[in-house]
Structure 1
Amino acid sequence: MIADGRKIILFRQYVLKVDAWIPYHPGGDKAILHMVGRDATAEIEALHSNEAIQQMLRYCIGRVDGLWQNFTPPIQGGVFRQVLQEGQDRCNNDNGGEIEMESGSSPLSSRTPSPLFDQQPAKRRLASSSSSSVSEAEFSDGMSYLDAITRQHISLDLDKYPAPDTSTQARILQQYRELHQRILDLGLYECDSMAYATDCCIYVALFAAMFVCLHLGQYALGGLCLGFVWHQLVFAAHDAGHMGITHKYHVDSVIGIFIADFIGGLSMGWWKRSHNVHHIVTNAPEHDPDIEHMPLFAVSHRLLGSLRSTYYGRVMKYDAIAKMLLKVQSWTYFPFLALGRFNLYVLSWDHLLANRGPSKGPGAWHRWLELTGQIFFWAWFGYGILYCTIPNGWSRLFYLILR
């Protein structure tokens, strides 16, 4: 079925066919696509309410007994094919399954094969010694050298942490679920509303200080106050995006949109779509948009292999410009970070204008509320403050940089 393009995921031994749900999914399509062919129980339980889980079971088409061995999703490079007629494909006859993943499929197929990530089997990695010296190996190129260093760090991690074999990981997963249920039973997921009331007092005080500074002509100081407001507000927006305030989808979504769009000028829908993928494939260079900043920054040597981003749908080229910028990234990190909000404005408008969020269902109207919020933001911030209140270009520039 996956070979036919169907979106099949597993949840608590239930097989779910979720093709029809993707346009309605509030968390975006990418989060689902990264779970195709995989057991998504832990991810679903962590990110969804009981009501949402009950809705999912409507898409059940069967059950799986025993332990499921995850496939690599097509979006990550997994290749699937249908069962051929008996006698036509010996590999299929030996496999005996309805869906077979070709041995050559790999989530790293968008780059040059790596001695660490593409060729060395897991058992050999487990057996590798952490004391092996990089200097004793012969390296054909720079990537092989970096792979060998990474192999050493992986070996050290394998010595410190539980083994990645199936039985050990199954036991850890069961303990995680028991802990999750215990926290749920104790009510520790319920937030303290008084804490948010205290935070709101801080937001209002900083916002008022910003207007006082503008009135007194202290534009740089006013920009700092506004920056502090936005800095603090993102924590509340993060909680709202995770439905962590009231645990009600529409209420928390409206709170998040009010903070992000109306006050901050950023799209809450864009953040949720991006952040959900971050939680599904955390720190995977090809898939996690939170660490894909080429050509400005590289947080993994694998980004030097011109990987293709499955989130943005383009190759993150390691070209001459990237080589020049990455050499000085330790110096340019904070200057670029100071300008990073302008990139977030662009990403927010791209998300809203391209309608990348849910196009159907209960969350579809959020896009229109966000567009209203964007217009409101640029009216009070862009026109009201930058254009009407601050008198000259240099003061506006300092205000923008420091905010």
Structure 2
Amino acid sequence: KDIERMTNENEIVFVINKKAYRVTNWVKYHPGGPETISNYAGKDATAVFNVFHPEEVAEKKLKNFYIGDVTDAEVDNYTKEFLDLHQEVKKAGMYSTSVFYYIIKFVWVYSLLALSAYLVLGRESYAEHMLGAFVMAWFLQQVAFLGHDSGHNGVSHYRDIDKTIGLFVGPFSSGISIAWWKSNHNTHHVVTNSVDHDPDIQHLPVFCVNHRLFKSLYSYYYKRVMDFDAAAKLLIRVQHYLFYPIMSVARFNLYFQSLNMLFTRDYVERRWAEIVAMFSYFTWFTVLAMQLPTWGETVSFIREYCISCWLL
């Protein structure tokens, strides 16, 4: 009841292993994004915390936010079984990283970028230039997986190293803020497929992926009401036709979301490094596209790149 009362008073409190923690004043500094925590306010976060964090985080950090024991808290069987499975997977070494795999992966992915640049700069035919656009899209799709793994601290398992890798493969190589991605994607993992919490399924007025979205609903991630208005009713009626055309230009929305967060949020870790990296991406991509012999080919290159993103 005390936790429910504090949550209703806009305090961010959660339970881990029958202990209550209040992080209201610290939440904006959370490395995984503030929404990851705020969307779990008032709940038992035992499972998600233990899976997301190494043991030393619990030992060093949690004690700073401890406010008391929760005497009536019970860990349900589902959570117990999930944590048991987590420990089995951990003991089996299945969370370990293959350094050799990532070396090969980096060489392969950035070979695609080099090939795209060669087709644009070193070849003369229109077809080869358009092939360069396809290879560029292929590179950007593949480098996103490296961004995913570094965002989860899954490449080296050392946070500072993976942050640096994420800065390179994220905003510098693909134009997407790794800080924005962490906030969005980690929240998705914490509250997976919750229609009022998970940003990965909150696409009104364009797409609807759950029957509960056939009405206006408050998004705890975006902190606003998602209106099921006339535009939503019209667009959702034909969403099966619109899906692929919209996905061909969806990357530009990711650019907007990244810049919006970097310039409007009170605190963003490595904010200026991310901004510089993003604008470096826009610079090298634009300079490369403008090396083509005509404006028409430059426009075609960007068009084929967008279409290829859809195909891939």
Q: TM-score, normalised by structure 1?
A: 0.69
1 CA distance for matches of 2:223 and 2:79? 32
Alpha-carbon offset, residue 328 of structure 1 = 1.4
- Partner deviation per Cα, 1:286-331 (whole Å, 9 max, x = no partner): 2211111122111112222022222223332222222222121111
Q: What residue identity is the alignment partner of 1:197?
A: I
- Partner deviation per Cα, 1:164-222 (whole Å, 9 max, x = no partner): xxxxx822322221221122223221111111111122113211210121021432111
Alpha-carbon offset, residue 355 of structure 1 = 2.7
Name which one, 1 or 2, has greater alpha-carbon Rg: 1
Aligned to 1:80: none
Aligned to 1:29: 34
Aligned to 1:221: 131
1 CA distance for matches of 2:292 and 2:203? 33
Aligned to 2:196: 286
1 CA distance for matches of 2:266 and 2:183? 8
Aligned to 1:254: 164
Identify the match of residue 226 of structure 2 among 286, 306, 316.
316
Alpha-carbon offset, residue 64 of structure 1 = 1.9
Identify the match of residue 10 of structure 1 among 9, 15, 21.
15
2 CA distance for matches of 1:229 and 1:328? 31
Alpha-carbon offset, residue 66 of structure 1 = 4.5
Instruction: For residue 16 of structure 1, give the secondary structure of its aligned residue in structure 2.
Output: strand
Aligned to 1:367: 271
Alpha-carbon offset, residue 356 of structure 1 = 5.5
1:379 aligns with 2:289: no
Q: What residue identity is the alignment partner of 1:390?
A: L
Change (3 A) 1:283 1:3: closer
Given that 2:170 and 2:177 are in contact with CA atoms closer than 8 Å, whether structure 1 keeps it comes out as yes
What is the alpha-carbon root mean square deviation over aligned residues?
1.8
Aligned to 2:208: 298
Aligned to 1:211: 117
Aligned to 1:193: 99
2 CA distance for matches of 1:334 and 1:26? 33
Alpha-carbon offset, residue 3 of structure 1 = 4.1
Given that 1:298 and 1:326 are in contact with CA atoms closer than 8 Å, whether structure 2 keeps it comes out as yes
1 CA distance for matches of 2:266 and 2:150? 20
Given that 1:285 and 1:300 are in contact with CA atoms closer than 8 Å, whether structure 2 keeps it comes out as yes
Aligned to 2:64: 58
Alpha-carbon offset, residue 266 of structure 1 = 0.7
2 CA distance for matches of 1:24 and 1:41? 20
Instruction: For residue 373 of structure 1, give the secondary structure of its aligned residue in structure 2.
Output: helix
Aligned to 1:327: 237
Structure 1: 5+ residue runs without aligned partners? 69-168, 359-363
1:91-106 pair list within 5 angstroms = none
Q: What residue identity is the alignment partner of 1:316?
A: M
- Partner deviation per Cα, 1:330-373 (whole Å, 9 max, x = no partner): 11111100000011110010010113554xxxxx3x21210110
Aligned to 1:47: 52
2 CA distance for matches of 1:312 and 1:24? 18
Instruction: For residue 36 of structure 1, give the secondary structure of its aligned residue in structure 2.
Output: coil
1 CA distance for matches of 2:180 and 2:302? 23
Alpha-carbon offset, residue 63 of structure 1 = 1.1
Identify the match of residue 250 of structure 2 among 340, 345, 357.
340
Q: TM-score, normalised by structure 2?
A: 0.89
Given that 1:351 and 1:357 are in contact with CA atoms closer than 8 Å, whether structure 2 keeps it comes out as no
Aligned to 1:67: 73
Given that 2:204 and 2:227 are in contact with CA atoms closer than 8 Å, whether structure 1 keeps it comes out as yes
> Higher helix fraction: Structure 1 or Structure 2?
2
Aligned to 1:20: 25
Aligned to 2:293: 391
2 CA distance for matches of 1:348 and 1:307? 24
Structure 2: 5+ residue runs without aligned partners? 1-5, 306-312
Change (3 A) 1:356 1:398: farther
2 CA distance for matches of 1:253 and 1:208? 24
Given that 1:210 and 1:222 are in contact with CA atoms closer than 8 Å, whether structure 2 keeps it comes out as yes
How many equivalent residue pairs?
Answer: 295
- Partner deviation per Cα, 1:267-289 (whole Å, 9 max, x = no partner): 00001011121112211222211
